[in-house]
Amino acid sequence: MNNASRTHEGKTALVTGAGQGIGQAIAMALAKRGARVIATDLAAPEATVRNIGASAIALPLDVTREEDWHSVLLQSREIGDVDIVVNNAGYFPNRSIDELDLPTWRKTMATNLDSHFLSAKYFLPAMRKKKWGRFVGISSNMVGLAIPGMSHYIASKMAIIGFMRGLANDVASDGITANALLPGLTNTLATAAQSDEQKRSTWEQQAIKRLGEPEDITGAVLFLTGDDAAFITGQAIVVDGGQYRVG
């Protein structure tokens, strides 16, 4: 690999929900570009780290638990202060508004939203010292689609966009950016229960007529977390083959 493709050399990236799916693909893509990777999940994602090799470590991190964030902060210092945080872990049960209960609502918010606040709380100070940092929040293109049973999820994913807009204002003067990324339907274990017909009915609405793969999401993450995106912040970038159009 030539040096031009080692765009993330010298950076340390933390990825949540990196045990499978989109998070695993993001962790592997960042490592390929030269980043040291802290791959985290409910259980330490050893398989992801085995795939990457010596430039990664696996740590357990339940993103809803503040004490876990604190513990990961302390352990991360062994491999280097975190420069890049990709909050990817997500919770997305389908519940119609009549079925939705408060524990499910709260778990959705804790997993999909509290995580972003907690990551900023624990990892901003080191980024500020270095005058460089990147936050990427994995939202969803579902915020713009008419999909029933997902009011809690859509609320949480819309809030990620809001948080990134607000965070962007507070950290800009320290060379730190905060952006949301909105994937479309992606081929992961989370969507495995959908029939091929159900998936087709989604991807047929895209300009690019195929199901997205986790690797389709990584390019935008690499761009937003690199130096080339230093002037892009507070944005919501859709990565869905051209299904959801805004503006």
Ligand X SMILES: NC(=O)c1ccc[n+]([C@@H]2O[C@H](COP(=O)([O-])OP(=O)(O)OC[C@H]3O[C@@H](n4cnc5c(N)ncnc54)[C@H](O)[C@@H]3O)[C@@H](O)[C@H]2O)c1
- What residues are labeled active site? 153
Choices 49-57, 82-90, 128-136, 228-236; region in contact with ligand X by CB under 6 A: 82-90
Helices 151-171 and 102-109 cross at an angle (nearest 10°) of: 30
Residue closer to ligand X, measured from CB, 204 or 228: 204
Q: Can residue 21 be called a binding residue for ligand X (CB under 6 A)?
A: yes
Cβ at position 6, least distance to ligand X in Å? 26
Largest CA distance in the chain: 55
Paired with 38 in beta bridges are 14, 57
Which residues in the 144-163 window bind ligand X by CB under 6 A? none
Single out the residue of 59, 63, 85, 109 in contact with ligand X (rule: CB under 6 A).
63
Is residue 191 close enough to count as binding ligand X by CB under 6 A?
Answer: yes
- Does residue 42 interact with ligand X by CB under 6 A? yes
**Two structure tokens written together for 75:** 């352990």
CB 119 to ligand X: min, Å:
11
Considering only 48, 119, 140, 206, the residue that binds ligand X (CB under 6 A) is 140
Q: Select from 92, 135, 163, 203 the one that contacts ligand X (CB under 6 A).
A: 92
As a whole number of Å, the CA-based R_g of the chain is: 17
- 154/176 with CB nearer ligand X: 154
Please report whether residue 88 would count as binding ligand X according to CB under 6 A. Answer: yes
51 interacts with ligand X by CB under 6 A: no
Burial of 81 from C-beta contacts in 10 A (0-12 / 13-18 / 19+): middle
Helix then strand then coil, % of the chain, to nearest 5:
45, 15, 40
| Angle of helix 115-130 versus helix 66-76 axis, rounded to 10 | 30
Q: Which of the ranges 4-12, 119-127, 169-177, 185-193 carries the binding residues for ligand X, by CB under 6 A? A: 185-193
Shortest approach of ligand X to residue 1 CB, angstroms?
Answer: 26
Q: Which stretch binds ligand X (CB under 6 A): 6-14, 18-26, 31-39, 218-226?
A: 18-26
CA angle 163, 37, 47 (to 5 degrees): 110
Please say which residue, 12 or 188, places its beta carbon nearer to ligand X. 188
Q: Please, where are the H alpha helices in the chain?
A: 21-32, 46-52, 66-76, 102-109, 115-130, 151-171, 196-203, 214-224
CB-neighbour burial class of residue 17 (10 A; exposed 0-12, middle 13-18, buried 19+): buried
How far apart are the C-alpha atoms of 136 and 6, rounded to whole Å?
19
Rule CB under 6 A: say whether 89 interacts with ligand X.
Answer: yes
User: For the purposes of burial, counting CB atoms within 10 Å of the CB of 127, is it exposed (0-12), middle (13-18) or buried (19 or more)?
Assistant: buried
CB 25 to ligand X: min, Å: 8
How many residues of this chain bind ligand X (CB under 6 A)? 28
Residues forming the site for ligand X (CB under 6 A): 16-17, 19-23, 41-42, 61-64, 88-92, 111, 138, 140, 183, 185-186, 188-191
